[in-house]
Chain A
């Protein structure tokens, strides 16, 4: 299978459509996206691959919002310093968001871009949706 797209190529390609994966609120208000495979992607990507990506994303967000010793410690320390500590230090949540951004970039480069898809970091959409852009597949004889 020939590599049909790279991330740079995608920027010039035309957008065919966008798929939005909504939030899954079944576990409450924590950030979790639905792992159901959207019908529009059936011809483009392997179902298992997609679900694995979504599951990893969900796990990362769960890690960001986890209530545990570490977050309590951070919260108490911040309170004691009247929250001035965040002028020099990043919150745990922000660190995990950076991790997520890196993960999405990697996934785009390795898996999605070659298939003519682009995953948009949910933080750019206010953590409401995972936006998957489907590009027109203009190359002949691809896949």
Chain B
């Protein structure tokens, strides 16, 4: 089962060549039998940068290397625990230990797979008619623009529970994003109630899989602490009988387990605590980092989505109704249905495996170009040009200290919202220079899409933060984004000639 890579990039000329072959296959002239065989499922023409498995049932991000690392760490550590420590503990203490451990392990794996494989709440892109309708409305609001005049940023303001919230227009998906939605640059999708893109889970965390993600990290904290505690108990009990060194010799696996658990427990327990805080105040990681609802922004700034008390917030996040997927991955593409705005032909994209390897390089080229354009225009907007240490180092560093320390030197007091998280200082640097950081982190990722997995000692929050990227529409950037889009399209046309 191989996933197909789908890129949300327009390639009008190249697509034309393939288009000829495709329409031949799917034209209505064919016999129903042939047509049925060739009709595609919607996941095969999905414009985002996701991978699909099991004929569309499983949906993940493009980069899944770190996810496999997560699986290996959990499976190996738990496997060693059950194989080497449990027999001793079951016979000397109680068989309830492996039983409880087993239940915890199954729950952790279940939640991990659920968080990784489900649709996080991706918003399908606008159909061409919708996009045209919105453009018309925007032009009507903004008035006619002369040549060379950049229209003001495309935003709509809406009053939610007394707070003014700005809805931003997504140039890729051609929609006004609902409140709390955000465009994930790694997956190239708008996701509802976007929390963050988690490389450990290999997927975005959004409205539909946040509860699985939270239960995963919570149960993993318990599992890690459980294994840690009982492995130590095992070693102590053995050393009481045979001495410490021979105890270690008899169960060498215990040493590995203790090391893995010791280094993971800080980050995982810290992360669980952080997300418990987020759930109880009904905020997303995104909102917390940007300080959207912080009282520091101004008097009378409060979270309009909060239900008021933390119990209702928790219940709503964890036990609320689970909305179904909006993207209908396994439905069939009908020849007369409107295709999303990202595709220029009307009959659906051709099998992407034909263009897969070529598009890879194209994608990198395009994103590099975006970065270059961004960097070139940035000095005009921001007073400090920010240079981040090259792409791969963002992941290779074990904390976010490297890249962010070159950013604005605003002095932090640790944000009270993130107790115990040692990268809190960097978080505030991120927050205060959000625009700089987000722009550059955004592009950093594109330069180096091959994420080197962080060493197990790395705080997961570092990579998490690295992925709290955001849509380029933050500051003045809307006009920049259209400039980028135009330049990119131009480049694509050139490169496909």
Contacts and interface: CB of A to CB of B under 8 A. Distances in A.
Nearest to B127: A125
B130 A25 contact: no
A29 B133 contact: no
Nearest to B159: A26
Contact of A18 (B129, B211, B315): B129
B320 interface: yes
Interface stretch (B106-114, B144-152, B241-249): B106-114
A83 B212 CA distance: 9
Contacts of A97: 324
A21 B190 CA distance: 20
Contacts of A23: 178
Contacts of A25: 158, 160, 165, 167, 178-179
B179 A67 contact: no
Given A27-B160, A125-B127, A129-B130, A71 B179 contact: no
B323 A79 contact: no
Contacts of A78: 322
A25 B110 CA distance: 34
A125 B328 CA distance: 10
Q: Is the interface of A mostly helix, strand, loop or mixed?
A: mixed
Contacts of A123: 326
Contacts of B407: none
Given A82-B106, A125-B124, A93 B324 contact: yes
Bin the interface of chain B by size: 35 or more
A82 B110 contact: yes
A66 B123 CA distance: 21
Contact of A20 (B130, B161, B193, B304): B130
Interface string A65-96: 11100011011101100110010000111100
A20 B215 CA distance: 39
Contacts of A20: 129-130, 133-134
Nearest to B165: A25
Contact of A128 (B126, B212, B321): B126
B326 A28 contact: no
B326 to A, nearest CB: 4
A58 B399 CA distance: 47
Interface in A26-69: 26-29, 64-67
A22 B156 CA distance: 12
A28 B304 contact: yes
Nearest to A127: B326
B143 to A, nearest CB: 19
Contacts of A72: 315, 319-320
A26 B159 CA distance: 6
A125 B123 CA distance: 9
A28 B179 contact: yes
B11 to A, nearest CB: 24
A141 interface: no
B41 interface: no
Contacts of B322: 75, 78, 86, 91, 93
Contact of A79 (B176, B305, B319, B324): B319
* 6 nearest A-B residue pairs (beta carbon): A75-B319, A126-B124, A126-B326, A82-B110, A72-B319, A71-B321
25 contacts: A20-B130, A25-B158, A25-B167, A25-B179, A26-B158, A26-B159, A27-B161, A28-B160, A64-B321, A64-B323, A65-B321, A67-B315, A67-B320, A71-B321, A72-B315, A74-B319, A75-B319, A79-B211, A79-B215, A93-B322, A93-B324, A126-B326, A126-B327, A127-B326, A128-B126
Interface of A: 18, 20, 22-23, 25-29, 64-67, 71-72, 74-76, 78-79, 82-83, 86, 91-94, 97, 123, 125-129, 131
Interface of B: 106-107, 110-111, 114, 123-124, 126-127, 129-130, 133-134, 158-161, 165, 167, 175-176, 178-180, 192-193, 211-212, 215, 304-305, 312, 315-316, 318-324, 326-327
Given A25-B179, A29-B305, 7 more contacts: A25-B158, A65-B323, A78-B322, A83-B114, A125-B124, A128-B175, A131-B129
